[in-house]
Structure 1
Amino acid sequence: MRIAVPNKGRLHDPTIDLLERAGLHVVDGADRKLYADTVDPDVSLLFARAADIPEYVADGAADLGITGFDQVSEAGVEVEDLLDLGFGQCRLVLAAPEEDDTIETPYDLEGRTVATEFPRITENYFEERNIPVDIAEVTGATELTPHVDMADAIVDITSTGTTLRMNRLGIIDEVLKSSVRLFARPDVVGEEKVDQIRMALNSVLTADGKRYLMMNAPEDRLDRIREVIPGMGGPTVMDIAGTDKVAVHAVVDERDIFETINRVKQEGASDVLVTEIERLVE
């Protein structure tokens, strides 16, 4: 099973970190290599440009791919979206010069030129609204094109909007929301190894922001302690041999830990311990 992952850029390190946390440790490192093995002899990595990963998966060079939803949408290939990995969030937006008061809606661009690195997405966006425009495909510095008379507006990626503001561009509309996803070739969906990889990655995402809370508590205060512990279902309770106490274990959101500890202490809990959770399989 081969997974195509970004070879560089802002998506590379978070992707490798997620794979490592999921237990798919890279054996020989990822620098300046095309392929790398993992500790699972049945799983290897293929390093590629984020924009090329959808084609690699669709063409069979890889079985799974990790890249942005925007890249898959632009490629226009048939792949299955298996899991949102929760990072690389961004938006593809339509923007125009702030000083141009003739462009307030997408319909004001009829017959005009829009520059973008995402011609397929841009074409679909305007076709869905029946707005004829000329699309100028560029390979970088998209935000400069309206200021050098190459385009009247742009469709470009933004995370915070800072670059657009620096270039005096105002957002007219949101074209697409994107994040990094795990994608699969349709014919491998349902295979055991694919399900294992998806479960491993999802277990890391599920564990994020969760803590494992352990304590000892008087048995006669158990009902009260149950009431004050938020979290995933009821706590696990175990007898402590030779005492009138029980051990109480629960998974709790990190944001609730401070208040929960204070409340269980007030109800008589002792020996309270909080640990991080690396993976959580629901």
Structure 2
Amino acid sequence: MRELEAMGYSHLYGISPIVNALSAGKRDFTEDEVLANPEDPDIPEKAIPTTRLFIQETSVSSSPSSRSTSKSLASSTIKSLCASLSIPMTTTDKGTLNSMSNNRPHQGYVLRTRSLTLPQVPSSSLFAPPSDPTSPKLWVALDEVVDPQNFGAILRSAYFLGSGSSQEVRVLVCGKNSSPPTPVASASSAGAMELMDVMSVRNMPEALGRAKEEGWRVLGASLGGGGEGESRGMGEWDKDVPTVLVMGNEGKGMRNLVERACEGFVMIEGGGEANVEGGGVDSLNVSVTAGILMNYFVGRSN
């Protein structure tokens, strides 16, 4: 598997990521005929470096439940999409799928496909003025968020709260030291990663400076403030002002230059706190924080 991944292939697992990947048209499903048709007939299909859907062998239930009916419909959708894209399908055992997905929940499906890369966009052409009809309601800038599960969870919230394909919420990441768009991130996003156009920039502070020049307000998410900007609770910021919301790294928070680029800082005020014995909770996970703040700034809160 590592050799295949070194050749630029990923193993997507789970129904939603696979359906979305097949229907979104972002991935390249065309194949090199030489690689797809090796001369050695003894090479197993699971080792051939080509796009392929692997389906777990199952027995037919005599009394199908609503859950099995739903999975059957999803299976029909996946197979139909693969057929339309001329993607071969292979039935295999659960152990093989477990190996391909690193023992993560695959729901009986693994799609070997070329890996995604995030397009790197120059800061000068990234942000249109907020009044531009192509501009979203909210930008979310991730400053070195490295955990693929956090990355995927943020994308899931952004897609859900941003009204899906209209992309009222758009996500920006650093070109380096950020989670890549891996199968783990796709699964954590429930397949939203396959549908969203996530942008990457080489220099985040420069990009935030450009955003301010175009008329965007840049706010950093913070536990208790930082930098030179004013720190306020979430409800004290006008949510109708076009905003770039900056989220910091899971352990270190925002880098100094990114923090200085923020005009202010927004806090989520909670009732929990830690004590010297190690009990209690004094902060939220970055993906949870991002979800709460996105919900506020895109106007979905009551």
The answer to whether TM tops 0.5 is no
Whose radius of gyration is greater, 1 or 2?
A: 1
TM-score tier, shorter chain, comes to under 0.3
TM-score, normalization by structure 1? 0.25
TM-score, normalization by structure 2? 0.24
